[in-house]
Structure 1
Amino acid sequence: MAAALKCSLKRIMIRQSSTFSTRYLTRSLHSTTQRFTSQATKFDEAKDRLSKLSEDPGNDVKLKIYALFKQATVGQNSTKKPGMMDFVGKAKWDAWNSLGSMSQEDAQLQYIELINSLVSADEGSAPSAAPGEYKTLIVTKEEGLCKIQLNRPAKKNAITVEMYNEWAAALIEADKDPKVVVTAVTGSGDYYCSGNDLNNFMGIDPKDMAKMADQSAILLQNFIEAFINFSKPLICVVNGPAVGVAVTTMGLFDLVYSTDRATFNTPFSSLGQSPEGCSSYTFPKILGPMKASEMLLFNKKISAQEACTLGLVTEVFPDQSFEEEVWKRVKAYSALPKGSLRYSKMLIRETEKDTLLAVNKAECNRLVERWQSDECVKAIMSFFAPK
């Protein structure tokens, strides 16, 4: 009796186990089928969305799209490599072949993500920025040209903490914007920029000096990195006198155009400070060690024509025709092929990028010490003392 009951229970357990396995397998298959159906639908939607892009994403991205599509629909590349003279066919073959044994499912997923990111960027790309979107800048975009204009004319465009942040943000935004080909920086009013607003140093409790110095160094380092990392042509349009960091960063631009009434001054030692903007590296290379020392150590102010002769300025224009001549030329540059400009700049600049980043960090570290020194504090207090 006990044996028969045990046998009966065993048969029931086997049937239940079999029923559970069948149900589990059915649910699993259903879930997998739904997942593949959903992914296939998203893949088809991504193909449709691709045709809605208003901007050409560039050859590199188009090759990646092609490769992922072929991998997703055909699988691993097993075709014969095109001949050397078939440049387009060879580029497409190489792009597809680079995916190796990636599964078709993974290729579909990457294709969907890439197309969605491109369409989102295209739909969300900012139109020409209207005055007021930045508090200290006027940023406009037109036909491939992004114009960043420092906008504190009553203060000679002196740089506040807010302007540092906005200027860096505007550079990063322009670099990421696929519609921007060339970016130019200029000033409002009669000055390009008078350097740091020394009010940044006022009203600080002595016990907070170390914290202020550390925070200011981070701010400056991030600001200069925005120039170093900028991958597109960057042009400085010097509409008037330039002082301090407004001058030192010129070594990080690709072109510097100046009005003939501009002057260039880096009065670091007179303020108890030290060079920044990578000028301790770029100025000796551009001007020569002795001329660089005259400016960076001994506060020599130079004219636009002298700056041009030394190589800091690309070309000087008469003040009366400056705006018309320069912007006509800059706008013409923005009509050039953006891929060619970008890759050419990379070849020219990329080899020194790590060096510039290291120099920037070293300069900012030294300034942390300088800003807390008695020399700097006394120099700034003397600047604000009644004349």
Structure 2
Amino acid sequence: CIWPHTFNFDLTLDNLLWMLDFVGKAKWDAWKSLGSVSQDARQQYVDLIDSLLAAEGPAVAAQPTGSAATFDTLLVSTEDNITTIRLNRPQKKNAITVEMYNEVIKALEQAGKDDSVITVITGSGDFYCSGNDLTNFTKIPEGGIEQMAKDAGELLREFVKAFIDFPKPLVAVVNGPAVGVSVTLLGLFEIVYATERATFHTPFSQLGQSPEGCSSYTFPKIMGNAKASEMLLFNKKLSAVQACAQGLVTEVFPDSSFQTEVATRLKAYAKLPRNSLALSKQLIRGTEKERLHTVNDQEVERLVERWLSDECMQAIMSFFQAKAKL
């Protein structure tokens, strides 16, 4: 979950999704809940983020064309028994807005009920997903920071739940770099295909935060505790080849033939009996679904605590100040 996509630092502030509202318009009533942070520090933080927002410019979602459903941040279509959900903000490296979170939940709900055999998630342009957009949470709720963190936690809980409960085979087509929650969710997919230039990064501890997307459970299960800790605790970025060797990615393809080779495989899978695939997925995933929901709840509770902590606040400020000097 990590760093604003705008500055090409290849590190998107995904969990800052939930924190950034207290820079919005410098509403001091919300800042009061930060207690130990001095007014000077607050103002420096506001000035810093305001400058980053000014440099970024307005975050206007790309308008979908030819989509079977009406979405502002996604392209959703069904063809050859394959429903494709495409993150569609290429000019922002598919950084996730609050609207996109809600639209992905809606798109998954629709895809779970349609007649397609498999569902694919991918990105438009050169990025799969660069994490969360800097402009998220521009309005502070009446309850201030604590209410903001609670609301954000509930949105994250529902977002991850949509992946846990999805009834059909789910395939990630990782067409470029992936950061934060777009990486942590991969443990909930049946297949993950990646182009050779994809990278996978989850630098949570760098911002005083903690993992989400059930990765605290799925990553150790997939790659072992030591390798999972390198990613989730110590911010190690994996290449596509490394991610494949560790079991996070199913197969890696040359960038020049990526789309063609993946399409060939997907079309073959989509010819398989739909109900057979869905029921088989239930057998494979059903034994751990309750566990995944418990993990999701635990991760969200811990993140809400982190977002409200002085340590997280100071880590975010230090990180932004360091990057602003580059």
- TM-score, reference length from structure 1: 0.64
Tell me if structure 2 keeps the 8 A contact 1:269–1:299: yes
Tell me if structure 1 keeps the 8 A contact 2:69–2:77: no
Query: 1:288: which partner in 2?
Result: 224
Structure with the larger helix share:
1
Query: 2:249: which partner in 1?
Result: 313
Query: 2:261: which partner in 1?
Result: 325
Tell me if structure 1 keeps the 8 A contact 2:191–2:249: yes
1:272 is the counterpart of 2:197: no
1:163 is the counterpart of 2:105: no
Deviation at 1:206, TM superposition (A): 11
Give the whole-Å Cα distance in 2 for the aligned partners of 1:203 and 1:382: 24
1:135 is the counterpart of 2:135: no
Tell me if structure 1 keeps the 8 A contact 2:141–2:147: no
Compared CA separation, residues 351 and 137, structure 1 to 2 (3 A): same
Q: Which has the higher contact order (CA 8 A, sep 6+)?
A: 2
Query: 2:238: which partner in 1?
Result: 302
Give the whole-Å Cα distance in 1 for the aligned partners of 2:201 and 2:118: 27
1:152 is the counterpart of 2:108: no
Tell me if structure 2 keeps the 8 A contact 1:146–1:184: yes
What secondary structure does 2:150 align onto?
Answer: helix
Give the whole-Å Cα distance in 1 for the aligned partners of 2:311 and 2:135: 17
2:232 maps to a residue whose letter is L
Equivalent pairs counted in the alignment come to 259
User: Structure 1: any 5+ residue segments left out of the alignment?
Assistant: 1-127
What secondary structure does 1:147 align onto?
Answer: strand
Query: 2:292: which partner in 1?
Result: 356
Q: 1:176 aligns with which of 105, 109, 113?
A: 113
Tell me if structure 2 keeps the 8 A contact 1:265–1:302: yes
Deviation at 1:380, TM superposition (A): 2.9
Give the whole-Å Cα distance in 2 for the aligned partners of 1:215 and 1:283: 26
Compared CA separation, residues 346 and 129, structure 1 to 2 (3 A): farther
Compared CA separation, residues 288 and 280, structure 1 to 2 (3 A): same
Query: 1:255: which partner in 2?
Result: 191
1:367 is the counterpart of 2:311: no
Give the whole-Å Cα distance in 1 for the aligned partners of 2:73 and 2:248: 26
Q: 2:181 aligns with which of 233, 245, 257?
A: 245
Deviation at 1:202, TM superposition (A): 6.1
- TM-score, reference length from structure 2: 0.76
Give the whole-Å Cα distance in 1 for the aligned partners of 2:176 and 2:206: 22
Compared CA separation, residues 346 and 275, structure 1 to 2 (3 A): same
Q: Sequence identity of aligned pairs in percent?
A: 63
2:311 maps to a residue whose letter is E
Tell me if structure 1 keeps the 8 A contact 2:68–2:78: no
Tell me if structure 1 keeps the 8 A contact 2:96–2:131: yes
2:87 maps to a residue whose letter is L
2:223 maps to a residue whose letter is L
Give the whole-Å Cα distance in 1 for the aligned partners of 2:318 and 2:140: 16
2:220 maps to a residue whose letter is P
Give the whole-Å Cα distance in 1 for the aligned partners of 2:181 and 2:319: 18
Query: 2:41: which partner in 1?
Result: none
Give the whole-Å Cα distance in 2 for the aligned partners of 1:269 and 1:372: 15
Give the whole-Å Cα distance in 1 for the aligned partners of 2:223 and 2:103: 30
Tell me if structure 2 keeps the 8 A contact 1:198–1:380: no
Deviation at 1:196, TM superposition (A): 1.9
What secondary structure does 1:283 align onto?
Answer: helix
Give the whole-Å Cα distance in 2 for the aligned partners of 1:227 and 1:160: 18
Give the whole-Å Cα distance in 2 for the aligned partners of 1:268 and 1:328: 36
Tell me if structure 1 keeps the 8 A contact 2:191–2:250: yes
Tell me if structure 1 keeps the 8 A contact 2:73–2:87: yes
What secondary structure does 2:126 align onto?
Answer: coil
1:90-105 alignment, distance < 5 Å: none
RMSD, aligned α-carbons: 1.8
Give the whole-Å Cα distance in 2 for the aligned partners of 1:157 and 1:131: 20
The superposition leaves residues 165-192 of structure 1 with CA deviations (integer Å, 9 ceiling, x where unpaired) of 0011101110011x11100000011110
Compared CA separation, residues 384 and 133, structure 1 to 2 (3 A): farther
Give the whole-Å Cα distance in 2 for the aligned partners of 1:339 and 1:312: 26
1:333 maps to a residue whose letter is Y
1:48-197 alignment, distance < 5 Å: 130=67, 133-177=70-114, 179-197=115-133
Q: 1:235 aligns with which of 171, 190, 194?
A: 171
